[in-house]
Structure 1
Amino acid sequence: MCDQDQFEHDRLEYEARGLVTRRQFGVLLGAGVSMMLPRVAGAVTVTQSDVSITTPDGTCDAFFVHPATGQSPAVLVWPDIFGLRPAFRQMGTRLAESGYAVLVVNPFYRVKKAPTAEQGGATPIDQVRPLAQGLNEATHMTDAKAFIAWLDQQKPVARGRKVGTQGYCMGGPMAFRTAAAVPDRVGAVASFHGGGLVTQAPNSPHLQAAATRAQFLVAIAENDDKRAPTEKDALRETFTKANLPAEIEVYAAAHGWCPPDSRVYNEPLAEKAWARLLALYAKALV
């Protein structure tokens, strides 16, 4: 997960194979450059704001966006190692336009306010890896509880509806552990090119998630699967044994293919993953 040398090797390979797609307009190469994502059919009008959330360890800066009217199911979004930035604000807004109240957090708030990666998804991994290394199971759990509790207090959030959570890269284990931290609230969990979902430790994220009643979507990058070919099997076996619905698929894309500012962004496969996410939330957030 997020190994700089391996990342560069894979990026060049996937570019050579034509599996990296960057449109001429709308590609975010830096943290401050605007971008475009495919428009949402029937998009609703949304309201957005920067918010501050009190946690046991301080104050987290986050982005909250939701339909302008009514109440909607809530979704907690955990960004990848490059953190809260324009790309994830766009992704959160797009999800809100599909009918959800979306909170995108800065997981590195203990150290630095967003943006935490100067060049967005083009930032060298070595510059942001220390931020990720400062997080662990305890921070995942306490943050998840604080963020879900905050969402439950917001007027745009539908009462009595399950909450969804999704994570990218290092955010995958965070999403899994969110379900474990608040099992009575989380109904759907999605991981996109998540790293560290399966470990040999008794507190492995996949084992903790399997103790919940959530439904799962796990989208695995092809190069991650090559490096850990048994992980998908462990996930399937664990979720099947727990009798939990789980869609687990390996995508013919490189680690990081979903955020549009990624150097390995693959729009067709990112759109496929996005469609599967919406299908999961439609059936699980009831």
Structure 2
Amino acid sequence: MTLRNETLTYEADGLSMASQFYWDDGLAGRRPGILVFPEAFGLGEHAMSRAQRLAELGYATLACDLHGQGQALDDLEQARAAIAPLRPDPHRTRARARAALQALTARAEVNPTRIAAIGYCFGGTMALELARSGAPIAAAVGFHSGLATVAPQDARNITGKVLVCIGADDPGIPPEQRAAFEQEMREGGVDWRLHLYGGVVHSFTNPAADRLGRPDFARYDAGADARSWSEMLAVFNEVFPG
């Protein structure tokens, strides 16, 4: 294995993005590409480490910039303020996601017809909004991702499979939001699945979540992390056979 990393720069939503591309240079030919959208804090170690793990499995991956210039914010309230304008305007969220998709599919290492998007927290929302936009992706996977959208009717545009993995006790994704998402997926005719993890709250995939000091809101859970990763790989085995 010869794992490589390169910064990809592109414009999106008026921002200059600096995302991180990972691939195994020892593999011949084009391979499936995976977009990895980060938590609301922006492009940090968590998203980059997940992109690297997927590259080690043979995918070409792009850990995507969220805030421009590759920024990673430290403060939760600052991160919430940064994404607040995006929540009511899915066109801006989709613009950032689609620009990342274009940057990934332009790479010679990537098979542009075999693409998936995953994301964590707000990044999961981005993966879902990219799917709702009708982008030609084979799968969208969200981990502790917000499920709400102001454009539920756009679920009919989704062409790939959808998987969301949610802590059953996540205070940011209450049962009524899950129920609305289920209804959206049904009405859109989507091939979807929702996994719930009992006793689990927000940010369960990120070991750094414990640093927030808010265990009732955000807390790492090794069991849910491992299970959700395996469930994502099962979806990839379906959509990327061979």
| Equivalent position SS for 2:118 | strand
Note if contact 1:144-1:181 (Cα within 8 Å) is conserved in structure 2: no
* Deviations, residues 175-209 of structure 1 (Å, cap 9, x unaligned): 111113343x21100111112x225x4x14xx423
Q: Which amino acid aligns with 2:186?
A: T
Greater length-normalized contact order (CA 8 Å, ≥ 6 residues apart): 1
Mark the CA change 1:261 to 1:226 in structure 2 (over 3 Å): closer, same or farther: closer
- Tell me, yes or no, if structure 1 residue 221 matches structure 2 residue 164: no
Indicate yes or no: 2:15 matched with 1:58: yes
- 2-side partners of 1:215 and 1:267: how far apart? 25
Preserved CA contact (<8 Å) 2:134 2:159: no
Runs (5+) with no aligned partner, structure 1: 1-43, 119-123
Residues 184-236 of structure 1 deviation map (CA, whole Å, 9 limit, x = unaligned):
x21100111112x225x4x14xx423421110111112223796213333333
Letter aligned with residue 95 of structure 2? T
Does the residue aligned with 1:186 lie in a helix, a strand or coil?
coil
TM (norm. structure 2) is 0.85
CA distance in 2, matches of 1:78, 1:134: 17
Query: Equivalent residue of 1:149, what SS?
Result: helix
How many equivalent pairs are there? Answer: 228
- C-alpha deviation, 1:153, in angstroms: 1.1
Partner SS, residue 113 of structure 2: coil
Query: For the Cα contact (< 8 Å) 1:188–1:285, is it kept in 2?
Result: no
Does 2:240 correspond to 1:255?
Answer: no
More strand by share: 2
Alignment of 1:33-182 (within 5 A): 44-55=1-12, 57-68=14-25, 69-70=27-28, 71-109=30-68, 113-118=69-74, 124-135=75-86, 136-161=89-114, 163-182=115-134
Secondary structure of 2:181 counterpart: helix
The equivalent residue for 1:8 is none
- Structure 1 residue runs of 4+, over 4 Å off? none
Letter aligned with residue 202 of structure 2: H
**Cα 1:230/1:56, change in 2 over 3 Å:** closer
Q: How big is the shift at 1:160?
A: 3.1
Mapped to 1, the partners of 2:83 and 2:13 lie a distance apart of 19
Q: Aligned to 1:73, what secondary structure does the other structure show? A: strand
Shift of 1:125: 1.3
Q: Distance in 1 between matches of 2:33 and 2:128?
A: 16
Question: What letter matches 1:160 in structure 2?
Answer: T
Aligned to 2:216: none
- The separation in 1 between residues aligned to 2:155 and 2:139, in whole angstroms, is 11
- Aligned CA distance change for structure 1 residues 173 and 209 (closer, same or farther; 3 Å): farther
> Structure 2 vs 1, CA of residues 85 and 225 (structure 1 numbering), >3 Å: closer, same or farther?
closer
Q: Which residue of 2 aligns with 1:279?
A: 234
Contact 2:133/2:158, CA 8 A, preserved across alignment = no
- The share of aligned pairs that are identical, in percent, is 23
CA contact (8 A) 2:34 2:61 kept: yes
Distance 2:117 2:168 in 1: 23
TM-score by length of 1: 0.73
Question: RMSD value over aligned CA atoms?
Answer: 2.1
Residues 163 and 193, structure 2, Cα contact 8 Å, conserved in 1: yes
- SS of 1:220's equivalent? strand
- Which is higher, the Rg of structure 1 or of structure 2? 1
